[in-house]
């Protein structure tokens, strides 16, 4: 045996020894921890319920790092998983190589969700923690689409579009809206086809999502189609999807893209889906329905608007989150004075409004000041609930000050809310400034009450902190159907406390404006007494008094049945329960959990919760001098 051969053999044996040692060093599994599934067991196990499967190699460093986390997850979640009909399982891809090849496993570990019909989606969150895996299991177990046998057996309604077909659509030949997906493929004739997507780990899971989308939007008379970018590279490159036509980065991953083609438009007919890739169909469906509806600029009557806004909003429902939390942006004009150019602004709103969930665009040929007043007056019927307090009264002068405008202009209303907003369109110039209009829309188009999650919490904290100084979070649980009604009641009570606070906030704003008006009048009087030059007096008279709209509340609810690791992740200490409210000072990054008397914040005491809001934001109007309790 030569020296070189001996060295090679020793190196090989060292590697084998190291691999064996790595395999032996695995953490001790908990009692009852299941063995990896083989091909037969895999088929039998997946024949019922939902399954989160870890495809791994015992020699993979990332898999070894995940192993103790996976064991802890299984042990903690097994009883809850039995109730939710979802389990954690594993497949050893060294022992069951054929099974992993059949499932197109290309890397380790690959964690996937399955139902009896097969693969649904992958778990892609990093870092992979016990908390994130359990949150994924809870979330997916509550998605009715995951166990819809009829859906899994149904076919996609998406049509294969060649280059000429697609060009016809965007040239204005479409008579119905078309939602189009773009794929890194050559031969995806039916969007359900099993094809080998290169450098696109998410393509296979999105096929199922696209089938769901195709069937859901078809009910709304929206067609779906798909384009093979590798067969139509020029089109995809022109659309900015060059990476789908040709791999430009072999280390990077690619994702399908989606866009909506509006019918009967020869220009600006294609609008890209703005929110990035998602395996959830809801965002795509809302985008398609809403963007097409907005492109029609439908008329709405005052009666229809009042019916929409006054409808009851249930924030938690048995089949998921709220669906009737819409925002209505209404272009109001006077038919006697409007000119055709006034309507041009609507065309420019279609694309930017597609980026804001739940915003619907309408038009009406009259002012909506009276409708706004009716809603505001309705708020006072709700907040005058405490007979021990002086009755709060609608401030007509403050209302007029905030709604003064000329037509045309925009009004904004939210389902379930009493407070409307009026765009300050004092002249034709303001009504032609698309950036100013959209800045106003974005500022006030927050949902009435937002679901707070680990994913959107930081975004909520950074949203318009100078306007929305506090984020008030109601803790609820939607884990069981019997808890949903009580959770909705809690959220509605939080709303009542916020409207009560809003009255105080508006009264304070009105007082501050009047103080500034008085100071301005005194300054003008003093200038006249001193016989100041006329231009100096005129300039002082022309000074505008800004109507500052700050110290507003951003409202949210946190479903702790889905977000059990939320408090630990964001450093909120203590034991927090359903029914409690957490107020977060966005400017100072501080949170409060106790009222002025040291009790837990809760909407069951509306006056106490209102006073907590007042103490934080308008201390000069607070009834109590004591501070709130919390942490930071």
Structure confidence by residue, pLDDT tens digits, 283-335: 999 999 999 999 999 999 999 999 999 987 888 876 555 556 899 999 999 99
Mean pLDDT on 552-574: 90
pLDDT tens readout for residues 410-469: 999 999 999 999 998 888 888 999 999 999 999 999 999 999 999 899 999 999 999 999
| Domain 32-147 part of CATH 3.40.30.10 | yes
Half-sphere exposure of 266 (CA within 13 A, CB side): 0
Please report the pLDDT score of residue 125 as a whole number: 85
Taking the C-alpha atoms of 407, 413, 419 and 424 in order, what is their torsion angle to the nearest 10 degrees?
-30
- The answer to whether residue 388 scores a pLDDT higher than 80 is yes
Mean pLDDT on 384-397: 90
- Can you tell me the distance from the alpha carbon of 193 to that of 298, in angstroms, rounded to the nearest whole number? 39
Please report the pLDDT score of residue 253 as a whole number: 81
Please report the pLDDT score of residue 319 as a whole number: 55
Show me where the domains of the chain are located. 32-147, 159-290, 297-448, 449-508+517-632
The beta strand positions in 335-379, using DSSP E, are 359-364
Mean pLDDT on 249-262: 88
| Confidence category of residue 17, pLDDT binned at 50, 70, 90 | very low
Q: Which CATH architecture has domain 159-290?
A: 3-Layer(aba) Sandwich (3.40)
CA distances from 54 to 12, 67, 90 (A): 29, 10, 5
Please report the pLDDT score of residue 11 as a whole number: 39
Q: Which CATH superfamily is domain 449-508+517-632 in?
A: Glutaredoxin (3.40.30.10)
Please report the pLDDT score of residue 348 as a whole number: 96
Comparing C-alpha atoms, which of 143, 186, 191, 162 is closest to residue 321?
143
- The answer to whether residue 367 scores a pLDDT higher than 50 is yes
Q: Which residue has the higher pLDDT, 114 or 15?
A: 114
Please report the pLDDT score of residue 26 as a whole number: 53
Comparing C-alpha atoms, which of 145, 139, 115, 128 is closest to residue 52?
115
pLDDT tens readout for residues 176-189: 999 999 999 998 99
Mean pLDDT on 235-251: 89
- Fold agreement between 32-147 and 159-290: yes
Could you tell me the pTM of the whole model?
0.82
- The answer to whether residue 543 scores a pLDDT higher than 80 is yes
Q: Which CATH architecture has domain 297-448?
A: 3-Layer(aba) Sandwich (3.40)
Q: Average pLDDT over the chain, rounded to whole? A: 90
- The answer to whether residue 170 scores a pLDDT higher than 80 is yes
- The answer to whether residue 2 scores a pLDDT higher than 60 is no
Q: Which residue has the higher pLDDT, 15 or 101?
A: 101
The residue count of the chain comes to 632
Please report the pLDDT score of residue 363 as a whole number: 98
Which are the contacts of 240, defined by CB distance < 8 A and separation ≥ 6?
272
Please report the pLDDT score of residue 313 as a whole number: 86
Write out the DSSP string of 239-270.
Answer: TT-HHHHS-S-TTS----EEEEEPTT-SSS-E
């Amino acid at each position: 045996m030569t020296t070189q051969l001996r060295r090679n053999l020793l190196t090989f044996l060292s590697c084998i020894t190291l691999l064996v040692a790595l395999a032996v060093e695995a953490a001790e599994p908990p009692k009852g921890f299941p063995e990896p599934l083989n091909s037969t067991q895999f088929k039998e196990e997946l024949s019922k319920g939902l399954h989160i499967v870890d495809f791994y190699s015992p020699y993979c460093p990332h898999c070894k790092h995940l192993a103790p986390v996976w064991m802890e997850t299984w042990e903690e979640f097994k009883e809850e998983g039995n109730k939710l009909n979802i389990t954690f399982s594993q497949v050893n891809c060294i022992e069951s190589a054929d099974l992993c090849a059949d499932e197109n496993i290309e890397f380790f570990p690959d964690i996937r969700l399955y139902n009896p019909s097969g693969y649904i989606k992958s778990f892609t969150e990093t870092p992979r923690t016990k908390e994130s895996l359990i949150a994924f299991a809870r979330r997916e177990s509550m998605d009715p689409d995951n166990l819809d046998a009829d859906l899994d057996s149904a076919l996609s309604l998406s049509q294969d579009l060649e280059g000429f077909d697609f060009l016809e659509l965007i040239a204005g030949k479409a008579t119905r809206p078309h939602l189009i997906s773009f794929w890194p493929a050559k031969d995806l004739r039916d969007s359900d086809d099993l094809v080998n997507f290169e450098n696109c780990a998410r393509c296979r899971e999105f096929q199922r999502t696209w089938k769901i989308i195709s069937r859901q939007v078809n009910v709304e008379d929206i067609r779906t189609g798909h384009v093979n970018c590798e067969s139509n590279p020029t089109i995809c490159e022109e659309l900015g999807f060059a990476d789908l036509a040709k791999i430009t980065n072999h280390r990077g991953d690619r994702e399908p893209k989606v866009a909506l083609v509006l019918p009967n438009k020869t220009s600006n007919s294609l609008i890209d889906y703005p929110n990035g890739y998602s395996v959830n169909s809801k965002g795509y469906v809302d985008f398609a329905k809403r963007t097409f509806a907005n492109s029609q600029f439908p008329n709405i009557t005052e009666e229809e608007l009042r019916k929409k806004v006054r409808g009851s909003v249930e924030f938690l429902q048995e089949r998921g989150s709220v669906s009737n939390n819409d925002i209505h942006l209404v272009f109001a004009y006077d038919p006697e004075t409007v000119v055709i150019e006034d309507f041009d602004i609507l065309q420019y709103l279609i694309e930017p409004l597609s980026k804001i969930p739940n915003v619907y665009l309408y038009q009406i040929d009259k002012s909506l000041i009276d409708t706004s007043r009716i809603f505001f007056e309705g708020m006072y019927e709700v907040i005058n609930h405490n007979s021990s307090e002086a009755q709060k009264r609608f401030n007509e002068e403050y209302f007029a000050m905030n709604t003064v405008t000329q037509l045309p202009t925009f009004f904004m209303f939210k389902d379930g809310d009493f407070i409307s907003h009026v765009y300050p369109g004092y002249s034709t110039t303001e009504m032609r400034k698309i950036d100013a209009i959209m800045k106003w829309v974005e500022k006030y188009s927050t949902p009435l009450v937002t679901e707070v999650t680990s994913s959107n919490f930081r975004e909520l904290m950074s949203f318009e902190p100078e306007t929305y100084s506090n984020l008030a979070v109601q803790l609820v649980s939607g884990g069981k159907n019997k808890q949903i009604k009580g959770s909705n009641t809690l959220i509605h009570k939080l709303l009542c406390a916020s409207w009560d606070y809003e009255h105080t906030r508006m009264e304070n704003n009105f007082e501050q404006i009047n103080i500034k008006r008085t100071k301005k009048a005194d300054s003008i009087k003093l200038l006249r007494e001193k016989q100041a030059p006329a231009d100096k007096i005129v300039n002082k008279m022309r000074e505008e008094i800004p109507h500052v709209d700050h110290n507003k509340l951003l409202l949210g609810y946190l479903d702790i049945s889905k977000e059990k690791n939320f408090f630990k992740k964001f450093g909120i200490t203590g034991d927090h329960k359903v029914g409690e409210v957490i107020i977060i000072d966005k400017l100072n990054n501080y949170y409060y959990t106790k009222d002025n008397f040291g009790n837990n914040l809760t909407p069951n005491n509306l006056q106490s919760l209102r006073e907590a809001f007042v103490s934080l934001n308008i201390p000069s109007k607070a009834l109590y001098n004591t501070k709130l309790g919390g942490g930071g």
